Amino acid sequence: NETNSSNFIRNIIINDLETGKHDSIITRFPPEPNGYLHIGHAKSICLNFGLAKEFNGKVNLRFDDTNPVKEDVEYVNSIKEDVQWLGFDWNNLFFASDYFDEMYNRALLLIKKGKAYVCDLSPEEMREYRGTLTEPGKDSPYRNRTVEENLNLFERMKNGEFKDGEKVLRAKIDMSSPNINFRDPIIYRIAHASHHNTGNKWCIYPMYCFAHPLEDAIEGITHSICTLEFEDQRPIYDWFVRECEMENIPRQIEFARLNLTNTVMSKRKLKQLVDEGIVDGWDDPRMPTISGVRRRGYTPESIRNFCSEIGVARADSKVDSQLLDHFLREDLQPKAPLVMGVLKPLKLVITNYPEGQTEMLDIENNAKDETKGTRQVSFSRELYIEQEDFMEEPIKKYFRLFPGNEVRLKGAYFVKCTDVIKDENGNVVEVHCTYDPETKSGSGFTGRKVKATIHWVDANNCKPCEFRLFEPLILDDAPENEGKHFLDQINESSIEILQGFAETTQLKDAKPLDKFQFVRNGFYSVDTKYTTDDKLVFNRIVPLKSSFKP
Ligand code: ATP
Ligand code: MG
Ligand code: MG
């Protein structure tokens, strides 16, 4: 069961419900709308929405939009679409920026309690004063401003009397705390920037460490699930909830973020790939974004099953992306109808087959499931086969087509190679064969056997298709590459584009995002951007077999 996977967070919730700490739970997924969601976010989405569903609780989609500079409605819309596509629905949709008034009032409360002050140190000075892991920090010279002075300055910050960076509001905690997060963290900064939701109403914006616990508390979140890098911030999270006298007390719980081999998983880096034109937008099928994998043909089910399988841990690790491929194949195998297509075509002529004749052959739609029925595939004197299914001078153990050898054409007849036609450079451009009418598939012929079956497409009745094959965008698996910049690790051959042909019947009504299993090749999805009336463009989701060597 997708949502029932046992994990330590689940156990915390069960305990909280059993002891009566909570009657019901509320979780949230809090993306910052500064980019498109990626597979890592999917893990967090599955977790938060999955737990809410399992325990009959609620889940909020909350845009953590407290930084006006990097945020955009384009991202807000894409995030909503992606969450829904993954198969989840939120109980409430919130924007953190809707709480700016309340946050401002809570900051005033801190000032009045003598727990916050306006500080004029420059960022460099502040870094110097903060100390290090081994050295305590020093008090800011502005630390002892009176409550009245702080109230006055903070109001003037809000009214736009100061420039960006001139002043900040800081919590007044402990400059010698061993936890650096307690050394008077900044809670408000000045940014004269227009916000996608609040426009020009504010020129001061709350910092994450202050805003996030308040957002959770305001919404009555019971379990605030975040990634491990926030573990050090948990004490300060609790401090803000307490000192701001919030009614609801959320609990922060950290889990390990998802890392995948050969994959960058940070919106900032993914945005760089987009901005520098290394990929064809956020939804490039090579991107690990939800919109990218959707366009490539990944299914929500396979992503959910994958997230459930990897589970929730407390220690960081890297998951092999081949595991995701496994769940894709498992999900697509029963769903994606079989189709024959040739990616690198070589003409095959059956010299003893009557010219101008066409026959329709009955071929199964799913090799493992008879109930999926059959389809009619046209067959004639001229076909296309894959270039790699013919060798003029066969290597050892090559059982496919070569002069004098006989193979089965899938769902059709045995053909025997009698001749080859070459161009002026000596390249084989046509293979000539004879066929044996007695060997027709399904006829029960047992007279002799062949060692290979190859697929084919009727050259007189086929659809021109473009096939796009992908390899990882990032080469990061070599240990010597550790520490290198990811832009130096770009795989220059992450896409191969081939012009081929496919049978017509199965693809008659093919439309963007329809998925097919190309015989002996892999799973493909119809591209949403490049497909035209004249040409189907297919993205390879995954090859049939893994080339993975454990
Ligand atoms: P990025 O660094 O990619 O921008 P982020 O953590 O800054 O990620 P947010 O928009 O703040 O992105 O993330 C929303 C939620 O998704 C957060 O709770 C965050 O912890 C979670 N999340 C982000 N990346 C991952 C990941 N790789 N694995 C699991 N959860 C993640
Ligand atoms: Mg973030
Ligand atoms: Mg980030």
Average pLDDT of the chain is 94
Closest atom of ligand 1 relative to the 30 alpha carbon: 14
Measured distance CA(531)–CA(538) in Å, rounded: 8
For tokens 């090859």, the residue is: 543
Structural contact between residues 402 and 433, judged by C-beta atoms closer than 8 angstroms: no
For residue 348, the tally of other CB atoms under 10 A from its CB is: 25
Nearest to 411 by CA among 449, 381, 379: 379
The pair of three-digit structure tokens given for residue 521, joined into one six-digit string = 């090749």
Ligand 1 contact, 267 CB (< 6 A):
yes
Model confidence at 314: pLDDT above 90: no
CA distance 504 to 156: 71
When pLDDT is cut at 50, 70 and 90, the band that residue 2 belongs to is very low
CA of 138 to the centre of ligand 3 (A): 30
Evaluate if residue 1 carries a pLDDT over 60: no
CB atoms within 10 A of CB 355: 8
**Which structure tokens are listed for 331?**
């999900």
Q: Is 295 a catalytic residue?
A: no
Residue-level pLDDT at 3: 42
| pLDDT at position 546 | 67
Handedness of CA 109, 113, 116, 117 (dihedral sign): positive
Active-site residue (options: 80, 138, 143, 257): 257
Structure-token pair, residue 380: 């004639």
Structural domains of the chain ordered from first start: 8-258 (3.40.50.620), 259-335 (1.10.1160.10), 337-462 (2.40.240.10)
Cα distance between residue 102 and residue 305, in whole Å: 40
The active-site residue, picked from 28, 251, 267, 515, is 267
127 contacts: CB under 8 Å, gap ≥ 6: none
Q: Is the CB of 44 inside a 6 Å radius of any atom of ligand 1?
A: yes
Ligand nearest to the CA of 221: 1
Please tell me the distance from the alpha carbon of residue 292 to that of residue 271, in angstroms, as a whole number: 13
The DSSP symbol for 257 reads P
Distance (Å, whole) CA 464 – CA 481: 41
Predicted local confidence at residue 547, as pLDDT: 58
Which residues make up each annotated binding site for L-glutamine? 64, 208
Residue 257 CA, closest ligand 1 atom number = 28
Is 267 part of the annotated catalytic residue set?
yes
Look up 32 and say whether it is catalytic. Answer: yes
Closest CA to 169 of 213, 217, 126: 126
- The residue with greater pLDDT, 72 or 28, is 28
Kindly give the distance from the C-alpha atom of residue 268 to the centroid of ligand 3, in angstroms, as a whole number: 6
Length of the chain: 550
DSSP 395: P
pLDDT at 549: 45
pLDDT digit string, tens, across residues 149-179: 999 999 999 999 999 999 999 999 999 999 9
* pLDDT number for residue 367: 85
Identify residue 330 by its one-letter amino acid code: E
pLDDT at 489 over 90: no
Tell me, what's the pLDDT at 315?
Answer: 83
384 alpha carbon, distance to own chain's centre: 36
Gap from CA of 127 to ligand 1 centroid (Å)? 26
Going from the Cα of 43 to the center of ligand 3, the distance in angstroms, rounded, reads 15
Q: What's the rounded Cα separation, in Å, for the pair 125 and 108?
A: 25
Alpha helices in 164-299 (DSSP H): 208-219, 234-243, 267-275, 290-296
Q: Is the dihedral of CA 499, 504, 510, 513 positive or negative?
A: negative
What ipTM, to 2 d.p.?
Answer: 0.96
Q: How far apart are the first and last CA of the chain?
A: 27
Give the atom of ligand 1 at the shortest distance from the alpha carbon of 269: 3
* Spatial CB neighbours of 105, under 8 Å, sequence gap ≥ 6: none
pLDDT in tens, 471-488: 999 887 654 456 678 888
Ligand 1 centre and the CA of 251: distance in Å? 18
272 Cβ below 6 A of ligand 1:
no
Residue 340 pLDDT exceeds 80: yes
Q: Which atom of ligand 1 is nearest to the CA of 38?
A: 3
Whole-angstrom distance, CA of residue 243 vs CA of residue 114:
11
Q: How many CA atoms lie within 13 A of 431 on its CB side?
A: 28
Q: Is 40 in the pocket of ligand 1 (CB under 6 A)?
A: yes
Assign 6 a pLDDT band (cuts: 50, 70, 90).
low
Q: Assess whether the C-beta atom of 32 lies below 6 angstroms from ligand 1.
A: yes
pLDDT band at 335 (very low <50, low <70, confident <90, very high): very high
The rounded distance, in Å, linking the Cα atoms of 5 and 192 is 46
The pLDDT of residue 507 is 96
45-93: per-residue pLDDT in tens? 999 999 999 999 999 999 999 999 887 889 999 999 999 999 999 999 9
Whether residue 227 has its Cβ less than 6 Å from ligand 1: yes
Give residue-wise pLDDT tens across range 454-469. 999 999 999 999 999 9
Question: Which mutation among 41, 265, 268 tests ligand 1's pocket best, with the greatest number of atoms within 8 A of CB?
Answer: 41
At residue 7, the pLDDT reads 87
Q: What is the gyration radius of the CA atoms in the chain, in angstroms?
A: 31
> What's the gap between Cα 22 and its chain centre?
33
Query: With a 6 A CB cut-off, is 33 part of the ligand 1 pocket?
Result: no
What tokens does 229 get?
């890098």
Atom of ligand 1 nearest to the CA of 259: 27
Mutate to test the pocket of ligand 1, among 45, 75, 227 (most ligand atoms within 8 A of CB): 227
User: Does 118 contact ligand 1 (Cβ within 6 A)?
Assistant: no
Q: Is the per-residue pLDDT at 5 higher than 60? A: no
Tens digit of each residue's pLDDT (9 = 90 or more) over 94-148: 999 999 999 999 999 999 999 999 999 999 999 999 999 999 999 999 999 999 9
Which one of the ligands is nearest to 319 CA? 1
Give residue-wise pLDDT tens across range 385-404. 999 999 999 999 999 999 99
Q: Which residues contact 31 (CB under 8 A, 6 or more apart)?
A: 37, 41, 63, 64, 79
- Burial class of residue 70, CB neighbours in 10 A (0-12, 13-18, 19+): middle
**Ligand 1 close to Cβ of residue 31 (< 6 A):** yes
- Predicted local confidence at residue 482, as pLDDT: 63
Per-residue pLDDT tens digits for 251-293:
999 999 999 998 999 999 999 999 999 999 999 999 999 999 9
3-class secondary-structure state, position 205: strand
List, as own/partner pairs, every contact residues 209-212 make where C-beta atoms lie below 8 angstroms and the sequence separation is at least 24, other chains included: 209/181, 209/185, 209/233, 209/236, 209/237, 209/240, 210/103, 210/107, 210/171, 210/185, 210/240, 211/64, 211/66, 211/96, 211/99, 211/103, 212/30, 212/64, 212/237
> Residue 317: its pLDDT value, please?
80
